[in-house]
Amino acid sequence: MSNSNYTADYFKKLLNMKPHIEGGYYNESFSSEDKIIIPCQNEKKHERVQWTSIYFLLEKNYVSNFHRLKSDEMWYFHAGNSLTIYIIAPDGELIIKNLGLDIDNGDEPQVLVPKDHVFGSAMNCEGFALVGCMVSPGFDFQDFEIFKRDELVKEYPQHEEIITRLTRD
């Protein structure tokens, strides 16, 4: 089967993907066996796996809502069409990255979202994107923060248009 014959449903089924709270579909694919100790505000130490990785799929007309992690997240393009990642830095700068393979037109096959940055993604073209996301230190839902529209618009009013698109009421 050529790459152009793959569909979103093909990947969702064969990779056992399920809906993600932020939007899109995911499946936890790998997790480090090694543990690390990280400092926490309210605890002396917290043990975490060194890294985690998921498959993530987003289709046309769907978005991954703005959220924030306390760890870096590296995105890797696998299949489909380019995915746009919107990142709001702590100082309010909006950074737009296209994750894909059309490098001549500005795509990047890998994109880093630094910890403590607000980010979300959208399909701005037809089809779907299958990507991989690796988080280090490993993903933990206690470090996952999803945003409501009003709170982000209040903090970053200059980005109201994209915030409206990538948040729920």
Cis peptide bond N-terminal to 157, omega within 30: no
Q: Choose among 47, 45, 51: nearest CA to 30.
A: 51
Domain annotation for the chain: domains and CATH numbers? 8-166 (2.60.120.10)
The C-alpha angle with vertex 78 and arms to 129 and 116, in degrees rounded to 5, equals: 75
Q: Distance between CA 89 and CA 105 in Å, rounded?
A: 24
pLDDT digits 0-9 by tens, 98-110: 999 999 999 999 9
- Ramachandran angles phi, psi of 148, nearest 5°: -95, 155
Q: Choose among 60, 115, 107: nearest CA to 87.
A: 115
State the pLDDT confidence band at 144, using cuts at 50, 70 and 90: confident
Share of residues in the chain with pLDDT > 70 (%): 93
Enter the tokens of residue 116. 């403590």
* CA atoms within 13 Å, Cβ hemisphere of 118: 23
Q: What is the pTM of this model?
A: 0.91
